[in-house]
């Protein structure tokens, strides 16, 4: 039993080393990077689509890493918005890890990118244990998942300083009060920022980008 | 590398043995059991709440095992509907396994139960690899997650013969055509059954229960 635990610790230490290597690799090239975690179907892809277009208008070249268990739906959506993208199918794995991201970076034209978005597999548990080496991290949830999403997954919210509550236009239809999610997050992460958004219409996107360090001067959508 | 894979196979074989032990334990007591998997916030809990009430009116005593990373929101909801329930916090694990269910069964008054619902952690990937030993399995997704949920998670849909597409009343609001989900499922699992439901209003619940082998004779809600 001790042996197994010891090996587990080794694996996480090795993941951290690989994440630090990814961080250095991106930093040396001046690429700003954002890891996007969140529940299945919460709107991560739509939010990144919006960011690709918005940052593109600011003259920033955006790359993406799209991860899903199977298929290339998200990858194709990013390409359609003009991003350089790599698709990853994790199959039986429910999260990305730093080693997989390292290989994805090999496949991207890093010298031609200013920004990188890494979209994790839809999951609010395991991604919390696997740093990828990005500058920033954000978690996306949707009001349609219910008002208990934050308190059910304390680890990922406690350690992530930017949270997006998406699909707020549907809050009344699903009888969910977003203030409950905001209040639960304030307890877990008093210094964190939380944005109510509607990625489909673009509501909240500029605020999210500003909190990620991107000031959009072109105010036209 | 070979060594690691071999150990992985051993773990899954051991899980299967424990699942078979759970199955025998429930079967010997005449308890019919259903494993409920599905995405985060897809409506698994609401569906089980409805089933507790519906089957209760048929004179069936329902037990539940409620699993989440943290908290006891779902467990308390089941208790409020009259179920004997056990709460499990999986913490860093994104799925239940047969061993955890075995311990939960120890805590339930099995001699006083006719039906058991096991609600897994919200995840469409890892639960596919961990049989729990129930008679039946079902997967719940919601239209609010998008029309790509089935094809993004082929394994769990290919091996699960009952799928619920929940929150169909919101399909137009999120611009999702449930027929796309139905068509993707028909390719992955031609013999499977798929039900369009609205657990909140009760729509589809009797059809789901019938497909699970429970005929409700009391037609009043």
Q: pLDDT by residue (tens digit) across B39-94?
A: 999 999 999 999 999 999 999 999 999 999 999 999 999 999 999 999 999 999 99
Query: Does B72 touch chain A if contact means CB atoms closer than 8 Å?
Result: no
Residue A217 counted as domain residue: no
With a cut of 60, say whether residue A193 has pLDDT above it. Answer: yes
From the list A71, A91, A152, the residue facing B68 with the nearest CB is A152
Whether residue A221 lies inside any domain: the answer is no
What local confidence, expressed as pLDDT, does residue A209 receive?
98
Structural contact between residues B117 and B62, judged by C-beta atoms closer than 8 angstroms: yes
Please state, rounded to an integer, the average pLDDT across all residues of chain A: 94
The answer to whether residue A219 sits within a structural domain is no
Q: What mean pLDDT is predicted for residues A56-65?
A: 97
Q: Is residue B221 part of a domain?
A: no
* Owning domain of residue B190: 2-211
How high is the pLDDT of residue B6?
Answer: 53
Give the model's confidence band at A20: pLDDT under 50 very low, under 70 low, under 90 confident, else very high: very high
Contact status of B9 with chain A (Cβ, < 8 Å): no
Report the CATH number at residue B69.
3.40.50.300
Quick one: pLDDT at residue A67?
A: 97
Which candidate from A40, A123, A154 shows the least CB-CB separation from B70?
A154
Return the residue in B72, B144, B168 with the most chain A beta carbons within 10 A, the one to mutate for interface testing. B144
Q: What is the mean pLDDT of residues A7-35?
A: 92
**Residue A221: predicted pLDDT:** 53
Domain count for chain A, please give it: 1
pLDDT the model gives residue B219: 63
| B 178-207: CB under 8 A from A | none
The pLDDT averaged over each successive group of 10 residues in chain B (221 residues) is: 55 93 98 97 98 96 97 98 98 96 98 98 96 98 97 97 98 96 98 97 97 83 53
In a domain, B192, yes or no: yes
Is residue A4 over pLDDT 50? no
Segment A66-94, tens digit of pLDDT: 999 999 999 999 999 999 999 999 999 99
- Does residue B72 belong to any structural domain of this protein? yes
**Cα–Cα dist B32/B214, whole Å:** 10
Pairing of strands B84-89, B62-68: parallel
pLDDT of residue A19: 98
Residue A193 lies in a domain: yes
Q: What is this structure's pTM?
A: 0.93
Per CB-CB distance under 8 Å, the chain B contacts of A170 are 144, 170, 173-174
Nearest chain A residue to B143 by CA: give it.
A41
Residue B217 belongs to a domain: no
Q: Is B151 helix (H, G, I), strand (E, B) or coil?
A: helix
Is there a contact between B122 and A174 if contact means CB atoms under 8 Å apart? Answer: no
pLDDT at A109 over 50: yes
Q: Which of B71, B148, B153 sits opposite A151 (nearest CB)?
A: B71
B contact test, residue of A4, A38, A40 with most B CBs within 10 A: A40
The residues near A193 (Cβ < 8 Å, ≥ 6 apart) are A161, A162, A163, A211
Report the residue from B90, B122, B129 with minimal CB separation from A92. Answer: B129
More confident residue, A153 or A9: A153
Pick the closest to residue A12 from A100, A98, A106, A119 (CA basis).
A98
- Token pair, residue A122, equals 């839809």
Q: Is the pLDDT of residue A56 over 50?
A: yes
């Amino acid at each position: 039993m001790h042996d197994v635990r010891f090996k587990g610790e080794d694996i996480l230490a090795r993941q951290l080393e690989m994440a630090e290597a990814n961080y250095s690799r991106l930093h040396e090239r001046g690429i700003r990077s954002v890891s996007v975690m969140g529940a299945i179907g919460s709107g991560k892809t739509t939010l990144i689509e919006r960011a690709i277009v918005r940052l593109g208008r600011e003259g920033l070249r955006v790359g993406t890493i799209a991860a899903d268990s199977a298929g290339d739906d998200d990858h194709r959506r990013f390409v359609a918005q003009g991003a350089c993208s790599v698709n990853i199918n994790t199959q039986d794995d429910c999260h990305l890890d730093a080693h997989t991201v390292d290989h994805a970076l090999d496949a991207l034209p890093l010298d031609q990118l200013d920004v990188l978005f890494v979209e994790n597999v839809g999951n609010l548990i395991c991604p919390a244990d696997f740093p990828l080496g990005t500058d920033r991290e954000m978690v996306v949830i949707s009001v349609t998942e219910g008002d208990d999403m934050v308190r059910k997954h304390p680890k990922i919210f406690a350690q992530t300083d930017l949270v997006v509550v998406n699909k707020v236009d549907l809050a009344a239809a699903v009888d969910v009060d977003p203030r409950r999610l905001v209040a639960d997050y304030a307890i877990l992460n008093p210094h964190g920022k939380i944005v109510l958004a509607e990625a489909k219409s673009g509501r909240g996107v500029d605020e999210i980008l500003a909190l990620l360090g991107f000031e959009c001067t072109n105010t036209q959508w």
